[in-house]
């Protein structure tokens, strides 16, 4: 997966076609009723580009290397459909004040604060408290003679998914085993929020997996510092988790579409030194 940006040439012609595809599957009963399911969480976009002319005159100072050879080299360097790259759609590449979904916190590291007693290897323990869609959980991997916990499974059974975390130190646990329930843990968290963009306010929020530049991140319209962004996933890592109600998180950013070529591309010479491509089909990648 490359961070190369698709080249821009003056020979790009109209029309340009941009197609969202949801890949829905439909099963029809003899009664005529249908059962439908969607394969995708986000649409797969297809771009169809036409190049009316690509120059191949070595003496043209404004095309050195020539447009044709630049395009051929970019295609061959991608291995056809093998390697995805970045496409800038000038009509759809910038948002300002975009509201993002709720941030999610997962367990990064864990250590034992109080070992408790009566635990057996194989017992499952769970963090208590916080607001979650998935509860952080471990298996007891080591114990003392009195059943004090000395080690937990790594990786955990579940790193959890929390909008509000129960804390960082001396967090109580519950168990489905024989422990006395006094095991407490110290936890560090990784908190992320996914970049999305909406074509209309309040509309469908599509995940952005190839951000270009994220200029600002806001909590309740107040600019924040200390965050980082992953340009291969569109995940922003926040400096700390939330211990109470989350603010409204928003951002200003620009973005690309991550796309790939077909495996073959026709370059047609219509005059000496002049070529055309009747269609370049680029298909977006969904992570």
The reply to whether 6 falls in a domain is: no
Instruction: Let me know whether 117 and 135 are in one domain.
Output: yes
94 vs 28, more confident: 94
Mapped onto helix, strand or coil, the DSSP state of residue 238 is strand
Q: Is residue 7 part of a domain?
A: no
Are residues 140 and 22 both part of a single domain? no
- For the chain, give the percent of residues with pLDDT over 70: 98
Cis peptide before 192 (omega within 30 of 0): no
pLDDT score of 104 = 98
**Segment 213-235 mean pLDDT:** 97
In this predicted model, what pLDDT tens digit does every residue of 121-152 receive, in sequence order?
999 999 999 999 999 999 999 999 899 999 99
- Based on C-alpha coordinates, what's the Rg of the chain? 26
Q: How far apart are CA 104 and CA 22, in angstroms?
A: 26
Residue 2 confidence class, pLDDT cut points 50, 70, 90: confident
Residues 223 and 236 in one domain: yes
* pLDDT value of residue 264: 97
Per-residue pLDDT tens digits for 11-26? 888 889 999 999 888 8
Look at residue 133 and tell me if it is in a domain: yes
Which of 45-59, 115-129, 152-166 comes out lowest in average pLDDT? 45-59
In the prediction, which pLDDT does 211 show?
Answer: 97
* pLDDT higher at 57 or 168: 168
Q: Are 244 and 163 in contact (CB under 8 A)?
A: no
If pLDDT is split at 50, 70 and 90, which confidence band does 199 have? very high
The number of distinct structural domains making up the chain is 3
Do 149 and 129 reside in the same domain of the chain? yes
Are 196 and 98 contained in the same domain?
A: yes
My answer on whether 211 and 226 are in the same domain is yes
| Residue 2 belongs to a domain | no
Judge whether 22 lies within some domain: yes
CB contact at 8 A, 55 and 273: yes
pLDDT in tens, 49-66: 999 999 887 655 555 688
Q: How far apart are CA 128 and CA 136, in angstroms?
A: 9
Which residue, 161, 186, 211, sits at the end of a domain?
186
Indicate whether 252 belongs to any domain: yes
**Residue 218 located in a structural domain:** yes
Of the chain, the percentage scoring pLDDT greater than 90 comes to 83
Same domain, 226 and 118: no
Residue that terminates a domain, selected from 186, 217, 232? 186
Q: What is the CB neighbour count within 10 angstroms for residue 18?
A: 15
Q: Which of 186, 203, 222 is the last residue of a domain?
A: 186
Q: Under DSSP, is residue 241 helix (H, G, I), strand (E, B) or coil?
A: coil
69: phi then psi, degrees, rounded to nearest 5: -70, -35
241 shares its domain with 269: no
Residue 19 lies in domain: 12-88+258-284
Residues 204 and 216 in one domain: yes
Is 5 domain-assigned?
A: no
Q: What mean pLDDT value characterizes the chain? A: 94
Closest CA to 227 of 207, 250, 254: 250
CA gap 184, 170 in Å, rounded: 5
Do 122 and 69 share a structural domain? no
Predicted pLDDT of residue 91: 94
206 with 177, same domain: the answer is: no
pLDDT, tens only, 258-267: 999 999 999 9
Residues 129 and 247 in one domain: no
């Amino acid at each position: 997966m490359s961070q190369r940006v698709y080249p821009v040439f003056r020979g790009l012609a109209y029309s340009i076609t941009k197609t969202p595809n949801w890949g829905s599957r439909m099963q029809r009963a003899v009664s005529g009723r249908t059962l439908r399911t969607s394969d995708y969480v986000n649409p797969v976009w297809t771009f169809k580009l036409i190049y009316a002319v690509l120059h191949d005159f070595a003496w043209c100072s404004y095309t050195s290397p020539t447009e044709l050879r630049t395009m051929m080299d970019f295609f061959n360097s991608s291995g056809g459909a093998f390697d995805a790259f970045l496409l800038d759609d000038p009509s759809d590449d910038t948002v300002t004040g975009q509201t993002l979904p709720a941030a999610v916190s997962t367990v990064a590291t864990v250590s034992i604060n109080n070992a408790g007693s009566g635990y057996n290897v194989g017992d499952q323990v769970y963090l208590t408290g916080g607001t979650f869609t998935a509860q952080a959980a471990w298996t007891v991997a080591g114990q003392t003679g009195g059943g004090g916990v000395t080690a937990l499974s790594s990786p955990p059974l579940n790193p959890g998914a929390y909008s509000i975390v129960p804390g960082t130190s001396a967090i109580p646990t519950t168990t489905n085993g024989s422990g006395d329930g006094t095991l407490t843990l110290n936890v560090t968290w990784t908190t992320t929020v996914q970049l999305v963009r909406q074509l209309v306010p309040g509309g469908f929020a599509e995940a952005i997996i190839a951000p270009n530049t994220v200029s600002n991140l806001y909590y309740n319209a107040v600019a924040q510092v200390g965050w980082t962004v992953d340009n291969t996933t569109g995940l922003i890592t926040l400096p700390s988790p939330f211990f109470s109600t989350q603010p409204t998180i928003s951002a200003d950013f620009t973005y690309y579409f991550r796309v790939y070529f077909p495996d073959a591309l026709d370059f047609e010479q219509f005059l000496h030194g002049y070529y055309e491509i009747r269609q370049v089909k680029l298909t977006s990648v969904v992570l």
